[in-house]
Amino acid sequence: MIFRFFLLFSLFWVSLAAEMLMRTKVALGTFVSISADERYKKDVETAFGIIEDVEASLSSYRINSPISKLNEDKYAVLDALSYEALLLSQNYYHKTQGYFDITVGSITKDLYRFGADERLASERELQNATVAFHTLFFDKTQAKLQQNAKIDLGGMGKGFAVDKVAAFLKMQKIKDANIAASGDIRCLHKCKIDIQDPFSDGVLLSLETLEPDTAITTSGNYNRYVQNKSNNHLIDPKIKKSQQAFASITLISHLPSSDIDAYATAASVMPPQKAYAFLDTLPLAYIIIETDTEYVESKNLFLYIKKMDDLEKTGVLK
C-alpha cells in the first residue's frame, strides 16, 4: 500500500486508503500527521502524547521547558529528552565541523526572532552575537549557558520527535504507519512524497520510497524569513549570516530522522563544495535545488526511491 505526502515546511496534504486512520494536529510549531490502520487508533493518540512530551521538553517558546529556562536563566535542570537532544546536537556539531550549531539561537531567537515578534537584524548585531557551542555545558542532570548565548533546537527537533514516535510504533509492532512533521517524514511503510517547488506553490517532483522505514527531510530558505529570503532562518554559524547558496536540500535515508534533519540544516549553510563533499560521505541520497536553473541529485538516489516523476517545474528544470 502506498501513502502520499506533500513534503512542505508549513503545510502538507495527506491522501490515504479508506481503511487507514490519519490524525493531524498542530504541534512543534507546524502540522503533524500520523497515519496507521484504524485498529491502532489508541496508539496514534499515545504517539501524539509523545510529541507533546518532546515539545514540552525542547521548545524554546514554552516558558517551563528545560530549554526555555536554559535560555532565560542560563541554567536548567534537564529531563531525559532535553539531555538526549543536547547530546545529539553536540555530536552533530562535531560531525559537521561546527556547521550545525544550536547556539545560533542568539541570532534566530534574539535578533531575527523567527516565529515571534520578527524583526530585521543589523550587520553589527549579527557580528556581535554569541554563536559558540563551547558556551554550553551540560551533563545528564543539568545544563549551563554563558551570558548572551541562546539555544535553538529547531534544526533537529522535528526529526527528534519523529524518531520518538517511530520507536514507539515499532515497539507496538505497527509496521503500516507513517509520521509527518512538516518537512520531516518517516515512512515505516512505503510511501509517495511530493516535494514542493521552492519557487512556486506547485509540486517540483514526486518520488516513491523503495523500502520501508525510510526517512525524508527538506531544509530550505524559502519558507521562513524576514522581509526577503536574504534574511532567512538558516544561519551559517561561521559567518553569522543567513545562507544563500541553496533553495532547498532534500535528504532520503534509513538513518534516524534527527540525524538527517540536522545534516540537512548543516549542509544548507555550508559553502556548496563543502556541502556536497559532506553529504557524499553519508549513507543517504539527496535532491538539491540551488537556483531555479540548477538541480542536483546524488548518484545513489535510486537506491532509496522506486521511481521519480519528471520535474514539473515550468522553466529549465525538466
Question: Grid coordinates 535542570 are at which residue?
Answer: 77
Sign of CA dihedral 117, 124, 108, 83: negative
Give the residue with greater pLDDT, 192 vs 202. 192
Mean pLDDT of 208-237: 73
Which tens digit of pLDDT belongs to each residue from 87-117?
999 999 999 999 999 999 888 777 665 566 6
Helix residue ranges per DSSP H, the chain:
41-58, 66-73, 80-95, 105-108, 123-128, 157-171, 257-269, 272-279
- In whole angstroms, give the CA distance from residue 127 to residue 57: 30
Q: Please, which pLDDT band fits residue 167 given cuts at 50, 70 and 90?
A: very high
CA torsion angle 214 219 220 223 (round to 10): 90
In the prediction, which pLDDT does 318 show?
31
Residue 26 reports pLDDT greater than 50: yes
Helix residue ranges per DSSP H, 120-202:
123-128, 157-171
CB contact at 8 A, 220 and 247: yes
Q: Please, which pLDDT band fits residue 138 given cuts at 50, 70 and 90?
A: very high
- In whole angstroms, give the CA distance from residue 159 to residue 150: 21
CB contact at 8 A, 151 and 103: yes
Which tens digit of pLDDT belongs to each residue from 255-272?
999 999 999 999 999 999
Q: Please, which pLDDT band fits residue 124 given cuts at 50, 70 and 90?
A: confident
In the prediction, which pLDDT does 137 show?
98
For residue 227, give the amino acid letter. Q
Residue 79 reports pLDDT greater than 50: yes
Mean pLDDT of 157-178: 96
Please give the mean pLDDT across all residues of the chain.
84
In the prediction, which pLDDT does 8 show?
40
Q: How many CB atoms lie within 10 A of CB 292?
A: 15
Backbone angles phi and psi of 77, in degrees to 5: -80, 130
In the prediction, which pLDDT does 14 show?
41
Residue 164 reports pLDDT greater than 50: yes
Mean pLDDT of 156-165: 97
In the prediction, which pLDDT does 111 show?
67
Mean pLDDT of 209-230: 73
CA torsion angle 233 65 261 257 (round to 10): -160
Counting residues of the chain whose pLDDT is more than 90, the rounded percentage is 57
User: With 0-12 CB in 10 A as exposed, 13-18 as middle and 19+ as buried, what is 60?
Assistant: buried
CB contact at 8 A, 207 and 214: no
CB contact at 8 A, 252 and 292: no
Residue 33 reports pLDDT greater than 90: yes
Which tens digit of pLDDT belongs to each residue from 274-292?
999 999 999 999 999 887 6
Q: Please, which pLDDT band fits residue 22 given cuts at 50, 70 and 90?
A: confident
